[in-house]
Structure 1
Amino acid sequence: MGWWVNEPIINRILKWALPILSALLLANAVGAAETIRIGVHDKPPLVQVADTEHVSGFIIDLMNLIAREEGWQIEYVPCNWDECNQLLVLGEIQMLTPISSSEAKQRRLDYNRESLYVNWGQIVMAGKDAIKSPLDLAGKTVVALSSDPHFADLKELAARFDIQVRFLEVSDYESVLAWVDHGPVDAGLIPRSFDLAGFQQYPLIKSSVIFNPAEIRIALSPLNGQIPNAKRMQRLDYHLTRLKGDRSSQFYQFQEKWFGDSMALEIPEWLLWVLLFLLLLMVMLAVGVLLLRRSVTLKTGEIREMNERFTAFMRNLPGIAYMKSSTGQYLFVNPVWEQTNHLHEADVIGRQSTEIWPERDLDVREEEEIRVLEEGRPVESTEVHPWDERPSHWRMIRFPITGLQGDEVIVGGIGLDVTDQKETARELTHLHHQLQLLLESAGDGICGLNGLGRCTFANSAALEMLGYRKDELIGSKFHDLVQHTREGNQPYPEKDSALYAACRNGKRGREEGLFWHAEGAALAVEYSAYPIANGELPGAVVIFRRQREERTEN
């Protein structure tokens, strides 16, 4: 009954159960700092990916500085170029960098307007500057990195001007330098950001031939939403403009750090040995102090305190929690589990589920617990418990708890009652359906606009009167499509419209005027604009119909 007082088991519980339980509760907490996942691909020195957990570089330092000032929590996701683009499209990362503005525009991605860095392709060679223009590459062999975006531009440039160049592809920039230095090729291609001074063993020089200038930006996932993207781009551009406007800012310090002269003052070898000795001495002293502090009494007290905290945490957890052995016997249940299942802890410890509830179909639960043990990873599911008077829905997470090597792996499970959320979602779906029926049955045209004046919904009557398909109207500026011109072919400024006053200023308005059909015909309409709350920008609903005179004529 008191199995968890044993220290190895407590260590296993604390090592695995507490982080997972805490993560589940914190995921639903309100007011936590905004976490932004940024996909980064290896592009030194803009971004250097040492491994999946360590990234550095000019852009990394810059983003960390902006994140501290904005209160963002940054999670970098290293990936190759194709993987990063796929993750951005799927919304699994919110931002992607480095990416050129032309590449982001080609992929129709949102991106910030202030450049982080301007990069370009550059030709390097050994000896004197014999290559002064792209035409001098005729008949020569050029080596380049296969994944370098400037490589594709160089090949296109050679084909456009019929310059006969032999190209050789390698997998890294050091190989480019080695091939040029050792003579088998005439020239190599590197980006402007590449630190040539860091490879003194290859005495190469940069030619005057540069091409394909590209402004480095930050792309944002289209699944973030237009308003969140607009806010983040505004904050990014604000900080970049401010930092670049101050020559003493950290922006230029980072530039000097990553792109400055790498020929720093050499430290004498004897001084390095002295510093290494002092460092080792400090480490030994620190280890000695830690060993002295970790006495048996303190360790026992820490374990007791952690055990008490874990017990208090489990008893106050707003969901059910349990632990089972690898053979399916219950080892622990918390008070919420007891209340939910109408059983006392003493009635279940040491027994299997089939012994406690022989009449219930529990195959799915047991299969998930077996998966946890076999795969060694958490399994999440939503379950329906139909056994009470009122069926309940539970969000369950089952996970393995491992201890020292050779110890038995046990299964932990936690669950939150999501019945109310399910019912609320069902009611909202019903209300949404009723609203759609109401909008579609209305004889007047009804359109919704966000704070930027873009159409967010339109009923069938509006589409029929204006002659647009839904995919043509939704997401487009309503004024630019429908209300751009007054009678007499005079331009109609957006700020003069009642729609603008409703969207931006929160003022109701009613007017008679012209709306323009998709085929170019003018429609005489009378319309009303009503503001609606939508965060910082209110938005509006516009209801319109043809003027009585036009309806009479028709």
Structure 2
Amino acid sequence: MKTRIVFTVFLIVLCVFSLSAKEKLHLKIGTYENSPKIFTDDNGEISGFWADITKEIAKRENWEIEWVHGTWDQCLQRLENKEIDIMVDVGLTPARQKRFAFSNEILLLSWTRLYTQEGTELQSILDLNGKKIAGLKGSFNIEGPEGLKDIVDKFNINCKIIEMDDYIKVFEALDKKIIYAGITNKDFGDKHEQDYRVERTSIIFQPARMQFAFTRDSELTPHLIDKIDQQIIKLKKDTNSIYYNSMEKYLGEQEKITVFPLWIKITIAIILTFVIIFWIFIIFLKNQVKHRTQELEQDITKLKQAEEEITKLSKIVETTCQLVVLTTIDGSVVYVNQAYLDISGFIESEVIGSSMFDFTAEEGMKILKEETIPQLLSSGHWQGEMIVRIKDGTKFPADLICSLIKNKNDEPEYFVAVFNDITERKLVVEQIKTSEEKYRVITENAKHIIITHDLDGKITYANNFALEYMNITKEEVIGQSIAEFIHSREDMDAMKQRQHDFITGKNNVHHYELNVKNLSGEYRILEVYGNPIIDSNNNITAVLIIAYDITERKKTENALRESEARFKALHNASFGGITIHDKGLILDCNKGLAEITGYTVDELVGMDGLLLIAEESREIVMENILAGYEEPYEAIGIRKNGEKYPLRLEARQIPYKGKEVRVVEFRDITESKKIEEEIKQRMRELEIFNDAAVDRELVINDLRKEVNEMLEKMGKKKKYDIVT
């Protein structure tokens, strides 16, 4: 009986497995053109790294797959609409997690590389200011964390980002110099950069984990994720699998601002306004001439000359960098120059006949209606700032000069407006205000004496610390002679002579020690630094005094000097180059790093830190960055002059300005490597001597001493006890 039951169960299980084997799961998988990761080959077949892995998994799981081709953006939309089941080569972002489900296993690590037009010298990410940059529409490179949009926002870079359907179009646009720069993933760039006139830059960013993406709410999705994760794990464990073979096959290996005086800008704007007014007036005359051609045949020569002048003036308006707009009194646009079309992004047919109010930002609408137009109608002119909106919704501040044009009956007919983009000027002004406020706060809260006095020695300013130090109010000290606070007549005479020499240019060094007394009668020693305050005519008008109380320092100067020497020796012996970076982008560093690499500190800040690592070590360094690795390890560094050298790196995650970054110590171990090799050589010699000649103890002792001395130089313990 039991045997019959077991046999029945066996038949049922066998039937179930037989049915499962016959029923293939049909899956629709999205594909797009991103060679060599995934692409359509010359035979029309879907090929590339992702295609190989996907086909292998489908074969192992007995799935039937159907490739659905489209652009990147189309594929993501189809996945969200449940028109396909799986999408390959998708970078994980918070926004995408809300739209799709993702595999747990990472199939590929990638990052974004920046390319420019051939022959372009791009020094840093800041050189992209004011430029056009293209990338793949809807891609991780543009939209993802630390992507292009994130980086330009972080560094306040004002550039235009153009989204294209595939990376081929990005390289074609660079080749034709339609754009200044373009971004692709590293694998596409490595494969195709030789096919186009493009320049690879040293700027790489946004390390990314590439995974399979799935329809979020599908009942089938958990099953697909589980199966694909299992197969990826198996493929990675087998070093001879298609995962490694396919990877080897497809994936081996600030513009200077010229600030013109305001009066020049106004003069140029007025001249251009009158030129434009004159040109419009000529157009009006030209229309009249057409109706009176027969009556003016005798003036044909003069008319041709006038037309030539009109052409010249028209070229001036068309080629000027200023934005020129002509409207009727009711605001209907009748003319815009080429500069307006280039900057706004509109085409002429979209603007002509439209209302000027359609292109005015909400912030400027009230000014336009309540101030600009009424003043134009009353006085004929208006000048001020206006917020302008362009086609993509971007807004920028502009210096606007408007004039009213009247017809022959002295009736208002047109408004002509000339715009100047003042974004950079506003930024400079804001920076100046910020700088002034910063230094005012620093001065008022500085913990040392800051005083200014005129050429007669009368105090004109004293900071809070100076007032507290002298135990006096600001009202009591302003206007007093600085001599009132000097300890002795001898110090007074010496200070006066120094300042006289300083002011007359006989001595540019204004640094000395001075004995003073405060109102409590206490004598103190000050270290004084003086700097001239110079007016616009390069004349010295006053003197800035910065003084530090060094009384206590003087008392303990000898002890401090000895302590300082010990500290300096310890510092020089213990620390190499230190840098703080965010995903490889250097935020700050010390002089030690500059000395090791050959770059200046200013060159290093803002630089891609991977450029300090030799090509053969960059992959392991990038992996350690992504993994948050915090143990010491060795790599090969590269200096500014191209010299390679052995390097020990040790990093820690630290909070920095509201986010987690990495601090890394660079230590040049060239000498250590040499000493280590010498030690090994000496130890080999020692072993030879030890094995071959027991009776040569004195020679062995000498060798042991040398080994011990070398180990001490490296900061390690002695290896041998010396018998004397």
The normalised TM-score by structure 1 is 0.38
Return the structure number with greater relative CO, CA threshold 8 A, min gap 6: 1
